[in-house]
Amino acid sequence: MQTGTTKVSEKAPSRGRGHDGEGERRMYKSPSQLSEGARAKVADALNARLADGLDLFSQIKFAHWNLKGPHFAALHPLFETFAESLAEHNDDIAERAVTLGGRAYGTVRQVGKASRLQDYPSDVQRDLEHVALVADRIEKYLEGLRETRGVAESNGDIDTHDMITLIVTEFEKHAWFLRATLEGV
């Protein structure tokens, strides 16, 4: 057994390759009362959302840094607010996966391989183009959050379900702000 880590057992069942492709991944001891199998499923779903969330964070920051146009003064701080909120939620999601006995996979390379979001075009500058692109990506992120909430619910993890519901509620509001900005355009 490795020093500094507590595995469920030396012969814990393998859950497949790690997200970074290195070695077998095992569930670690957790204070959760969920079964190891349920915890593994929820932790995997959380890691999928972590990848999307970290990718979305970087894309929102890209828009924040590069937007130009008459709505700059309103959108620049709005995008920063979205990014700050997402950073906190990403941390909560990663820590929940680890609390359940899993690992959190969030390096740039891991995120690049796992994110379901489309690449952000690097040539966009106009403010309303950024609004539409960010709104599309937030809506894709919301799809994944709803899937993860379903995985948590089907595995009896009410705590993860509730955490994800709070994130969904907040990001639905963000998407609404962006879509309202595009009304009549």
pLDDT at 162: 98
125 lies in some domain: yes
18 lies in some domain: no
| Residue type, position 152, single letter | A
117 lies in some domain: yes
Which residue segment(s) compose the domain that 111 sits in? 39-182
- How far, CA to CA in Å, does 5 sit from each of 29, 95, 103, 160? 9, 16, 12, 24
Instruction: State the DSSP string of 76-94.
Output: HHHHHHHHHHHHHHHHHHH
Specify the number of domains making up the chain: 1
100 lies in some domain: yes
- At 139-161, the pLDDT tens digits run 999 999 999 999 999 999 999 99
- Give the CATH number of the domain where residue 47 resides: 1.20.1260.10
114 lies in some domain: yes
70 lies in some domain: yes
33 lies in some domain: no
Mean pLDDT, the chain, rounded, equals: 88
12 lies in some domain: no
pLDDT at 22: 44
- At 109-119, the pLDDT tens digits run 999 999 999 99
Q: Find the DSSP H helices in the chain.
A: 36-66, 72-99, 108-114, 127-154, 158-182
pLDDT band, very low/low/confident/very high, at 97 (cuts 50, 70, 90): very high
pLDDT at 21: 44
pTM of the model: 0.85
pLDDT band, very low/low/confident/very high, at 34 (cuts 50, 70, 90): confident
Structure tokens at 143: 């799809």
pLDDT at 30: 78
pLDDT band, very low/low/confident/very high, at 13 (cuts 50, 70, 90): very low
pLDDT band, very low/low/confident/very high, at 29 (cuts 50, 70, 90): confident
